[in-house]
Amino acid sequence: MHLPADSAHKGTPSQSTQSNIPSGSSDTLVLAEEATGDRMTTAGDRATARVAPTIDEATDKLPVVPAPSGGKTTVAGDRAMGEDRAIDEATDSLSPVAASSGKGGRASWVKWYEALKSILPIYIGIHLAFFVTSFLSVLFVLSDFSKQSMPIYTLWQSWHHWDTGNFLVVAVHGYTAPNQTAFFPLYPIFERGLMFITNNPFTAGLIISDVAGLVMLVVLYRLVEEDFDAERAYRTVLYLSVFPTAFFLAAAYNESLFICFALFSFYYMRHGNWWLAGLFGFLATLTRSSGLFLLVPFCYEYLRQHHFNLRTIRFDIISGLAMPAAIGAFALYCYFQFHDALASLHAQAYWHPRMHIPGEGMILSLRLITHSGGLLNFQAIHNLLDLVPDLLVLGLIMLSFVGPWKLPRNLWAYGLYAAALYLFFQLYPTTGIFPLLSVARYLLEVFPAFIILASLGKNRTIHMSYLMVSGATLFFLLAQFLIGRWVL
Amino acid sequence: MDFPGKQKSSEVPRGGSPLAGAWGCPPDLPSSTKLDITQTDDIPASDTNVNEETAKIAAFRGNSTNPSGERTSTTETGNNRNQRIKSFWMPWYRASRTILPIYLAVHLAFFLITCFAVLFVLKDFSSQTLNIDNWLHSWSHWDANQYDYIALRGYEQWWKTVFFPLYPLLQRCLMIFTHDPLFAGLIISNVAGLGMLTVLYRLVEEDFDAERAYRAVLYLSVFPTAFFFAAAYTESLFLFLALLSFYNMRHGHWWFAGLLGLLATLTRQAGLFLLVPFYCEYLRQRGDFKDVWSSTGNGIERLLRSLLRFDFFAGALILVGMGIFVVYCYYRFHILFPFSRAEGLYWNRDLHDPSWGIIRTIQVIAHSPGFLSFSALRNMLDLGQDLFIFVLIVLSLLGPWRFRGAVWTYAVYGVTLYLCLQLYPVRDFSFPLQSFPRYMLEVFPAFIVLAGIDQHRRINLVYLVASASLLFLLLTQYVTGHWIT
């Protein structure tokens, strides 16, 4: 665990902060001193909070510490969860100064590096396994003892299935038909951008996904480490990486890029850095429409950090509009291109024709399983593969509000985000024999569920069972995906 | 090779514990302290009777120098006896409870894979439903069928004697209840699989520590061919008996060890190699090496006297196991050693030097139509797993993770088994190391080395994920009827 080392690192707060400050105006110096003072208070409060029986109570009891010129209010209970948080925020409130000085980022860079080191084994392990699976999936294509050999490019071309192609067409030719607008633009734009180097949009897509996948895990680790603890952060990353559909994070799909941006946005929300949160929210929404739901944790977190006091709301709340703005920007583009601002919505309607009550999809799916004539049936198994992860995540979201693993009040942003996103996925089941089509893939985006699962994972039985069962499903589905079978 | 255990055992006074060095702790350390350390380590709850347990293990080892020894000698009431029986079973119960999560999780995953594998059999969007019988029978492939056949009809052809008799015999016994040899076989394998993991856990826990034991069990359970433990193959029964035999050797229960070795040899030929650790362990525990190397000759005489006791012949039981089967075969088919002849004639296994199989496999890969061809992929799978175990075996002898002190028997057994397996590759020019990944499961010391290597998570995780992915893929291949041996 890095905590002791880190706190040792910041043993002399005032010194380190002052060294951050370039020899600028006296104005910045004042700001720095305020921040330091602010931090000292929080450190004191943190000690109090630790004594206090529960964090919720602590939040209620402890005084609000207003920082006169920064306009920043700090709630001590908030800090009780992540010990580094106070210091981090203090440096964040200095961000114009610290960022420009370049030296000030040192402590935080060390922590990013530590996070990277912690998750790298998982990332490498999983990617090694994906690589091995790409090799061996050939055994399912060739018949036993055949003399035939597949060309070596099969290794990466076997990742080229289903939606991958749709993104590639957009990347190469732009949006030429209205129904393509179901695929949001940022990922194809990135592919296009990288094509200048790789010449091949597909390779570009894989690179983007895998780099974003790495960054995503690092941010997730940092986020959970600060708000919970390092052990749980590690397990969260592990559990997300072996979720049955996690191979989509490495395929040329936009999931990993989206989750990466969403997590960054979330990270900066927790740090009260609203403009950056808005910026990343904007990018996330441009990647996938689900980014819009970042507005929910944004509002909650903003209000909570301003102590639900409407008078303390500042101008920076406007950054929350970034998420709808992204939708607006894309709608505007659609309007100019196809004279239909809602082209994207209409295109989605092709798969998800009408809104349902949440839960209807699950009931439909269950009915299809029972009516399929047996368990060993294509329809039954695929519906089970959709339904079981869906129910698992539902259970985890519920556990984030009730029960022994519930989130403290100050971390409700996680629960609210998960609930909002989950409900959205349930609202639009598809027609046909697979009502919950692709939902298992979308569930990757509901990252708070994995944090709750990580809390449950303290129990070795749950830990092992989840890892084995989920891992088995992951590699099975990957093998199916690689040989071009119909997967989600 | 130096034998550090040698000096240690010679330091132990003859009247005292014969085994004080056997726990990987210096002999001068009171063994109860060591046991306390290992047992409070990581086991959840029920730590209340640690002391009891210490007493029990001391009693179990026939150690009268321990404080608990007094208790056993003074009060020999029925109550105390009950307590002793209870405390005998307690560590086993706790060990099985510790490994149960792994066992259950792996089996749950196997079950799911068996269900999902239907997707490879059926076409996309087909409305066909497979019969639920299919579930069970997707586990009956290759050698499993041979054992079923033997269980039903006995040995009808002489070449079938390569499948050793104990497993089909047990299948036959269980068929009274199940009527289906496959089902009987699956029950035997899976029960033996649980027993095997428990014994492995106990063994490593006592000789090393609990955390390492847990990891060794985990690593063995996710080795790419570990699904054979759950299939109707002899692997789990054999490893169960071999481990139990090994466990009894470590405790100096020579007759038990010999008897279990006999059963192991009746399960698989490889059981014969238990002879090596048996006598190594016997030498280590019983041998009196005091001034053996002095010129008087007195020492050698004493050494021989210390060794030649009645216990010494317990090891011969392992040979008796082989003898029983050889005699049976002779009466049945009038052929001496029909199994070794069948191995040569029908399975093309010949004696070669140990590196032949590996070199040949590399040649085959080089001459295959391409890297992504059936023969190249299968050979790479065989070779990869074989070399992986090879590296671990080497590490068990050299380097920072080698078996030091009183546990060098592990290294001896690992090396012997690995080398002897390597001696018999398949002769024909296609899959020289065919079935070797499965045999590698039997080389359990390699997994103990692996569990010792990673103090950090790095290797741990990379091995787990990569190996588990292979495991699930190979299982999928097996249950869909592809050629996996």
In chain A, domain spans: 3-104, 111-482
Residues of B in contact with A153 (CB under 8 A): none
Nearest CA in chain A to B472: A472
Q: Flag if B381 and A377 touch (Cβ within 8 Å).
A: no
B366 interface with A at CB cutoff 8 Å: no
Amino acid identity for residue A470 in this structure: S
Taking alpha carbons only, the member of B391, B372, B392, B389 closest to residue B380 is: B372
Span A96-106, mean pLDDT? 43
pLDDT of A49 > 60? The answer is no
Work out the mean pLDDT of chain B and round it to a whole number. 79
Pick among B104, B108, B115, B116 to test the A interface (most A CBs inside 10 A): B116
Q: Taking a contact as any Cβ pair under 8 Å apart, which residues of chain B between 131 and 170 contact chain A?
A: 131-132, 134-135
Work out the mean pLDDT of chain A and round it to a whole number. 76
Measure the CA–CA gap between A135 and A483, rounded to whole angstroms.
Answer: 11
At residue A377, φ and ψ (nearest 5 deg) are -140, 145
**For the complex shown, is ipTM > 0.95?**
no
Q: Flag if B457 and A375 touch (Cβ within 8 Å).
A: no
DSSP state of A482: H
Q: Which tokens hold the place of A169?
A: 């067409």
Q: How many CB pairs under 8 A join A and B?
A: 184
Angle, helices B210-221/B457-479, rounded to nearest 10 degrees? 30
Classify residue A229 by burial, with Cβ atoms within 10 Å: 0-12, 13-18, 19+.
middle
Residues of A in contact with B135 (CB under 8 A): 376
Measure the CA–CA gap between B78 and B68, rounded to whole angstroms.
Answer: 17
Residues of B in contact with A137 (CB under 8 A): 473
Q: Which tokens hold the place of A118?
A: 């912690």
pLDDT of A476 > 80? The answer is yes
Residues of B in contact with A238 (CB under 8 A): 461
Residues of A in contact with B388 (CB under 8 A): none
pLDDT of B221 > 80? The answer is yes
Alpha helices in A62-137 (DSSP H): 76-81, 85-93, 95-101, 106-136
pLDDT tens readout for residues B134-150: 777 888 888 888 888 88
Residue predicted with more confidence, B168 or B13? B168
Q: How far is B139 from chain A (nearest CA, A)?
A: 15
B476 interface with A at CB cutoff 8 Å: yes
Look at A247-251, A376-380, B10-14, B437-441 and tell me which has the smallest mean pLDDT. B10-14
Q: How far is B244 from chain A (nearest CA, A)?
A: 26
B109 interface with A at CB cutoff 8 Å: yes
Q: How far is A212 from chain B (nearest CA, A)?
A: 20
Q: Taking a contact as any Cβ pair under 8 Å apart, which residues of chain B between 9 and 48 contact chain A?
A: none
pLDDT above 70 covers a percentage of chain A that reads: 77
pLDDT tens readout for residues A448-474: 999 999 999 888 888 889 999 999 999
B429 interface with A at CB cutoff 8 Å: no
Contacts of B62 (CB under 8 A, 6+ apart): B252
pLDDT above 90 covers a percentage of chain B that reads: 29
Residues of A in contact with B130 (CB under 8 A): 374, 376-377
Q: How far is B89 from chain A (nearest CA, A)?
A: 22
Q: What is the pLDDT of residue B203?
A: 93
Considering only the beta carbons, identify the residue of A129, A145, A385 that sits closest to B465: A129
Q: How far is B459 from chain A (nearest CA, A)?
A: 8
Q: What is the DSSP string of B230-295?
A: TTTSSHHHHHHHHHHHHHHHHTT-HHHHHHHHHHHHHH-GGGGGGHHHHHHHHHHHH---TTSSST
Q: What is the pLDDT of residue B448?
A: 92
pLDDT tens readout for residues B73-92: 445 566 788 888 888 888 89
Considering only the beta carbons, identify the residue of A242, A372, A475 that sits closest to B473: A475
Of A257-266, A330-339, A420-429, B277-286, give the range with the top mean pLDDT: A257-266
Span A312-318, mean pLDDT? 78
At A289 the three-state DSSP class reads: helix
Q: What is the pLDDT of residue A106?
A: 60
B230 interface with A at CB cutoff 8 Å: no
Taking alpha carbons only, the member of B182, B89, B200, B94 closest to residue B141 is: B182
* Chain centroid to CA B30: 30
Measure the CA–CA gap between B140 and B478, rounded to whole angstroms.
Answer: 9
Considering only the beta carbons, identify the residue of B108, B135, B469 that sits closest to A475: B469
Classify residue A70 by burial, with Cβ atoms within 10 Å: 0-12, 13-18, 19+.
middle
pLDDT tens readout for residues A118-130: 888 889 999 999 9
pLDDT of A262 > 90? The answer is yes
Angle, helices B235-250/B254-267, rounded to nearest 10 degrees? 160
Q: What is the pLDDT of residue B292?
A: 65
Give the torsion through C-alpha atoms of B71, B76, B78, B84, to 10 deg: 40
pLDDT of B27 > 80? The answer is no
**What letters, b where the CB count within 10 A reaches 16 and e where it falls short, cover A91-129?**
bbbbbebbeebeebeebbeebeebbbebbbbbbbbbbeb
Residue predicted with more confidence, A179 or B18? A179
% helix, strand, coil for chain B, step of 5: 70, 0, 30
| CB B476 within 8 Å of CB B117 | yes
Q: Flag if A145 and B370 touch (Cβ within 8 Å).
A: no
Q: Bridge partners of A65? A: A74
Q: What is the pLDDT of residue A395?
A: 92
Span B118-136, mean pLDDT? 78
| CB A167 within 8 Å of CB A254 | yes
Q: What is the DSSP string of B307-370?
A: H-SGGGGGGHHHHHHHHHHHHHHHHHHS-SSHHHHHHHHTS-B----TTHHHHHHHHHHHHSS-
Nearest CA in chain A to B480: A140
pLDDT of B33 > 60? The answer is no
Alpha helices in A306-377 (DSSP H): 322-338, 343-349, 360-370
Classify residue B132 by burial, with Cβ atoms within 10 Å: 0-12, 13-18, 19+.
exposed
Pick among B134, B136, B227, B472 to test the A interface (most A CBs inside 10 A): B472
Q: What is the pLDDT of residue B295?
A: 65
